[in-house]
Amino acid sequence: MPLDDPVNEGPPLPEEARIAFRDLAKAAGINFLHINSPSEKHYVPEIMGGGAAWIDYDQDGYMDLLLVQGGRFPVPAEEKRTGPTTRLYHNNGDGTFTDVTEKSGIRHPSFGQGVAVGDYDNDGFPDLLITCYGHCHLFHNEPDGKGSRHFREVTREAGVVTDGWCTSCTFADLHGNGFLDIFMCRYVIMDLKNFPKCAHKHVNGKEVLIACGPKEFKGNQCVLYKNNGNGTFTNVSDKCCVDGKGNRTGLEPEGKGLGVLILDFDDDGIMDIFVGNDEIQNHFYRGRRNGEFESVGYSHGCAASEAGGPMGSMGVEAGDLFGKGNADIFVTTFFNEGNTLYRNEGKAFFTDVSKQGGLYHACFNNVGWGTCLLDVRRNGMLDIFVGNGHVYSNAEELDMRMPNGEKHHYKQNAQLFLGDGRGHFREISSQAGPYFLERHVGRGVAMGDYDNDGHMDIAINNCGEAAALLHNETETPNHWIRLVLEGNRPVNPQGSNRDAIGAKVTLTMAGKKLVRHLKGGGSYLSAHDRRLLVGLGAATQVDEVEVRWPNRAASTQRFGPLAADHSYRLVEGAGAAVAAHCPPIKPKRSN
Ligand SMILES: [Ca+2]
Ligand SMILES: [Ca+2]
Ligand SMILES: [Ca+2]
Ligand SMILES: [Ca+2]
Rounded CA gap, 339 and 573, in Å?
Answer: 41
Among candidates 546, 555, 533, 544, which has minimal Cα distance to 489? 555
pLDDT in tens, 299-312: 999 999 999 999 99
Determine the distance separating the centroid of ligand 2 and the alpha carbon of 115, expressed in angstroms: 15
Q: What pLDDT is recorded for position 3?
A: 39
Distance CA 73, CA 426 (A): 39
Which residues lie near ion ligand 1 (Cβ < 5 Å)? 56, 58, 60, 62, 64
CA 242 – ligand 3 centroid, Å? 15
| Ligand 3 geometric centre to CA of 256 (Å) | 23
Point out the ligand nearest to the CA of residue 158. 2
Distance 491 CA to ligand 3 centre (A): 26
pLDDT at 588: 75
pLDDT of residue 18: 87
Q: What is the DSSP string of 346-390?
A: STT-EEE-HHHHT-SGGGTTS-EEEEEEE-TT-SS--EEEEEEB-
The number of the ligand nearest the C-alpha atom of 125 reads: 2
In angstroms, what is the span from residue 447 Cα to ligand 4's centroid? 10
Residues 491, 116, 95, 13: is their CA dihedral positive or negative? negative
The length of the chain is 591
Which residues have CB under 8 Å from 509's CB, separation 6+? Answer: 7, 536, 539, 541, 542, 543
The Å distance, Cα 442 to ligand 1 centre, comes to 26
Task: With a cut of 70, list the residues of the chain below it in pLDDT.
Answer: 1-17, 203, 589-591
User: What is the whole-number distance in angstroms between the Cα of residue 176 and the centre of ligand 2?
Assistant: 18
pLDDT score, position 589: 57
What's the gap in Å between 553 CA and the centre of ligand 3?
13
Residue 542 CA to ligand 4 center (angstroms) comes to 21
Which helix (H) or strand (E) is 395 found in, with range? Answer: helix 395-398
Angle at CA of residue 460, ends 459 and 463, nearest 5°: 160
Residues with C-beta atoms within 5 A of ion ligand 2:
119, 121, 123, 125, 127
Cα separation, 29 vs 15, whole angstroms: 31
Query: Which ligand is located closest to the Cα atom of residue 54?
Result: 1
DSSP letter at 466 equals B
Strand 52-55 and strand 64-67: the pairing is: antiparallel
For residue 151, report the distance from its CA to the centre of ligand 2, in Å.
Answer: 10
State residue 10's pLDDT score: 41
- Tell me, in angstroms, the distance from the centre of ligand 3 to residue 327's CA: 11
Q: How far is the CA of 454 from the centre of ligand 4 (A)?
A: 6
Ligand approaching nearest to the C-alpha of 95: 4
Which residue in 255, 239, 257 sits closest to 247, CA to CA?
A: 239
> How far, in Å, are 157, 226, 233, 252, 444 from residue 238 at the CA level?
21, 12, 14, 9, 29
Residue 122 Cα, ligand 2 centroid: separation in angstroms? 5
Q: How far is the CA of 583 from the centre of ligand 4 (A)?
A: 12
Q: What is the pLDDT of residues 430-444, one digit of tens each?
A: 999 999 999 999 999
- C-alpha separations of 70 from 32, 75, 271, 388, 465 in Å: 12, 9, 32, 18, 11
pTM, entire model: 0.96
For the CA atoms of 7, 10, 14, 18, what is the dihedral angle to 10 degrees? 50
